Amino acid sequence: MPKVTYIEPSGNQVEIDVPVGWSVMQSAMSNGVEGIEAECGGSCACATCHCYVESHADVVPAAGETELSMLGNVVAERKPNSRLCCQIKMTPELEGLVVRFPDAQS
Amino acid sequence: MTKPIVIIGAGQAGLQTAEALRAEGWDGGILLLGEEPHAPYHRPPLSKAYMLGEYSEAQLTIRGAEALAKKSIELRTGTRVAAIDRAAGEVVLAGGERIAYHGLVLATGSRARPLPFEGGTLPGVFALRTLDDCRAISAALEKAEGVAVIGGGFIGLEFAAVARKKGKPVVVFEAADRLMARVVAPLISDFYAGLHRRNGVELYLDAHVSGIAGRDGHAFAVRSGTGVDFVADLIIAGIGIIPNVELAKEAGLECEGGIVVDPCGRTADPRIVAAGDCTATRLADGRLRRLESVQNAVEQGKAAAAALMGREKPFLAPPWFWSDQYDVKLQMVGLSAGHDRVVVRGSVDDGKFTAFYFREGRLIGMDSANRAQDHMAGRKLIERGLTPTPEQAADESFALNALLA
Ligand SMILES: Cc1cc2nc3c(=O)[nH]c(=O)nc-3n(C[C@H](O)[C@H](O)[C@H](O)COP(=O)(O)OP(=O)(O)OC[C@H]3O[C@@H](n4cnc5c(N)ncnc54)[C@H](O)[C@@H]3O)c2cc1C
Ligand code: FES
């Protein structure tokens, strides 16, 4: 299973095996990673799964239209590498992905 | 040893309250009791992506066992609370076991309203509320020859869209003269009626269903008030929900279309709070606000946890909600009821628009179809009491975010 490193707001790093086909959000939530709320459960409707993608910039598929629109009003600072991690599906190419969660989601 | 805080109901609200209690600094025991055999899971995908088969059951879980253990939240699934003994400060489980509580959280959610007519409980007739319902419906859907949905609300319509995507013939009956009438304005209802019809749904408004006919012990047809039979072997009851207030009521707590709480989630008993679908919030002006949504479950959960810790964190933000049908994401914020003017931004024909609702010149609600940027700005505008002019609202070149700066 590909591994993802999650960086919590405290700076603490958590490495998790994410099943292929799962979203980067789902593993963070089910493992209790700090810094993500994901209220809508991956419907791209809440924007509380905001993360900064710190690696694999060229490999992570681009954000869709709804996601980009939602990112326009996230609570923490929006940066060029901001994503909603419920929209990033795990693939073997993303082995070693690093994402960082912001200080606030809501 | 200090007594734990006991939470009845391991759904979105119960889980949120448990986690918020930790965030508020409660370091005693937390006991999360849930009647369902599953760890807390996301309900919205049951009528959307999950029903379509886009992901697995494990992916529905909100928090896994390890995540709960990390926060020392003890989850007991398959455990029904039968009574609350307020005098003793104990809950009584269905098996007779008594558990003393330091504080008690009622997060019992709601259940589907049963169909009030003949044949409403025949095999082949389902409500869509739980993962187990969803499993049974998915299996039936694969084999179904005809699908009928009774009730044109969000859940029924989302299911209708899924059934159409799977190529099944679908008929929808709605008693009112428009879809989702309780929540959205006529403009949105009409848009959705068109959307469903274009996707091949046979839609009947003002439709009175008188019963369900069976054959060989299985649902066979939906009988309309005019005596016409619509053949269907999979029938979804989507006529609304009933909040689970019985435990609270029997324990002598005030219930009025929900367990009555203040905006901080408090009941009249200082040791008992409530959150989520089971509640009705008494606002400062005396009105009751009843919401059935994830946002409400999450925000009331946070408020209720704070209240048990003696802090006031009222949930008064404007409500928001979403619904996915076909390729349209509808996002709603505020309340459109009572508006005296509607302004549209974007194109209804293209399925990309936002309806802005004004009352006396002030923005009170917004419904956005595939315009998430408007919705997200709207949440902040309405929460802060800011309002664009109707002209600004209609003008796509005017950035709503400019009002937030
Ligand atoms: C199919 C479907 C689609 C939805 N789509 C959306 C959507 O798109 N957007 C949105 O915002 N909302 C949506 N909702 C609504 C949202 O899921 C609910 O508002 C939310 O789940 C409410 O959470 P809750 O914790 O209050 O109640 P629930 O999730 O109902 O949880 C309550 C739990 O308490 C348990 N319980 C009850 N009584 C007892 C007892 N005596 N002892 C022990 N346990 C007990 C129940 O078994 C249940 O598991 C949808 C709901 C459904 C069913
Ligand atoms: S979980 Fe809600 S937008 Fe990602």
Last residue of a domain, one of B183, B210, B237: B237
Residue of B nearest to A19 (CA): B59
The two three-digit tokens of residue B58, written as one number: 């494990």
Q: Which residues of A touch B370 (CB under 8 A)?
A: 65-66
Q: pTM for this one?
A: 0.96
Q: How many domains does the structure of chain A reveal?
A: 1
At residue B290, the pLDDT reads 95
At residue B382, the pLDDT reads 97
Max avg pLDDT among A38-42, B29-33, B332-336: B29-33
Q: How far, in Å, CA of B89 to CA of A80, rounded?
A: 53
Half-sphere exposure at residue B232, Cβ-oriented, CA atoms within 13 angstroms: 30
The verdict on the CB of residue B30 being under 6 Å from ligand 1 is no
**Is this complex scored with an ipTM above 0.90?**
yes
Q: Which residues of A touch B275 (CB under 8 A)?
A: none
Q: How far, in Å, CA of B124 to CA of B127, rounded?
A: 10
* Cβ–Cβ below 8 Å for B44 and A41: yes
Q: Which residues of A touch B45 (CB under 8 A)?
A: 41-43
Task: Match 């009705």 to its residue by tokens.
Answer: B280
Ligand nearest to the CA of B18: 1
pLDDT level of residue B55 (50, 70, 90 thresholds): confident
* Cβ–Cβ below 8 Å for B42 and A45: no
Q: Identify the CA nearest to B336 among candidates B361, B349, B355, B309.
A: B355
pLDDT single digits (tens) B214-267: 999 999 999 998 888 999 999 999 999 999 999 999 999 999 999 999 999 999
Residues of A within an 8 Å Cβ radius of B: 21-23, 26, 29-32, 37, 39-47, 65-66, 69-70, 72-73
Q: Identify the CA nearest to B147 among candidates B209, B235, B274, B22.
A: B235
Q: Is residue A80 part of a domain?
A: yes
Q: Is residue B117 part of a domain?
A: no
* Cβ–Cβ below 8 Å for B67 and A41: no
DSSP tag of A54: -
DSSP tag of B2: P
Q: What is the mean pLDDT of residues B68-96?
A: 97
At residue B54, the pLDDT reads 85
Q: How many domains does the structure of chain B reveal?
A: 3
Task: Match 């919205």 to its residue by tokens.
Answer: B44
DSSP tag of B61: B
Cβ A43 vs Cβ A74: under 8 Å? no
- Ligand 2 closest atom vs CA A41: 1
Q: Any idea what the CATH number is for the domain that residue A56 is in?
A: 3.10.20.30
Q: Any idea what the CATH number is for the domain that residue B231 is in?
A: 3.50.50.60
B1 pLDDT higher than 70: no
- Residue to test with chain A: of B158, B295, B376, most A Cβ within 10 A: B376
**Claim to verify: residue B49 and residue B91 sit in the same structural domain:** yes
pLDDT level of residue A106 (50, 70, 90 thresholds): confident
**Claim to verify: residue B145 and residue B213 sit in the same structural domain:** yes
Q: What is the mean pLDDT of residues A31-52?
A: 95
The verdict on the CB of residue A86 being under 6 Å from ligand 2 is yes
Residue B340 lies in domain: 327-404
Residue A55 lies in domain: 3-100
DSSP string over B65-116: HHHHHHTTEEEE-S--EEEEETTTTEEEETTS-EEE-SEEEE---EEEPPP-
**Burial annotation B6-30 (CB, 10 A radius, 16+ → b, else e):** bbbbbbbbbbbbbbbbeebebeebb
